[in-house]
Structure 1
């Protein structure tokens, strides 16, 4: 995947159709620096990216270090979610 298609502030996801987990901070020809909510900045390469389109970057969580994978599983645990009105 060419990193040139990715822009600063694109939102980061662990899969399509899920809530975002962070944002792109920096783009270089060889890697991205992404911010993961509640974790901080990490550098990832093209092999960690499943897709990038429409201002979204979908990572391949299984290719990331174990500590980051574990964090991603619980990144939104502490957030209050309002019940839907339906």
Structure 2
């Protein structure tokens, strides 16, 4: 994986077709730094990326450390709590 193909601010996904879980913060020669919603910044090495296309970075979640996998699983929990706490619309 050539890191030079990746750009800052591209959206990051845990798998194809899923909701985005963050964005690319920084790109280096041998890794990228992504922000995972509700978790923070995480270094991602080339072997932890499944694909890059159309302004998207898709991760190989199985190759990530456990704390990053846990963070991805709960990335949208806070948003979900806010939506559930809103009163119903009549």
Both structures adopt the same fold (TM-score exceeding 0.5): yes
Cα distance between partner residues in 1 of 2:74 and 2:42: 17
- Secondary structure, in 3 states, of the residue corresponding to 1:21? strand
RMSD between superposed Cα atoms in Å: 1.2
Q: Deviations over 1:6-33 (max 9, x none)?
A: 0000000000111100000110111101
**Offset of residue 77 of structure 1:** 2.1
Which structure dedicates a bigger proportion of its chain to helix?
2
The residue that corresponds to 2:13 in the other structure is 13
Structure 2: gaps of 5 or more residues: 85-90
The residue that corresponds to 2:30 in the other structure is 30
Cα distance between partner residues in 2 of 1:28 and 1:78: 30
Q: TM-score, normalised by structure 1?
A: 0.88
Greater Rg by CA: 2
Structure 1: gaps of 5 or more residues: 82-86
**Offset of residue 78 of structure 1:** 2.6
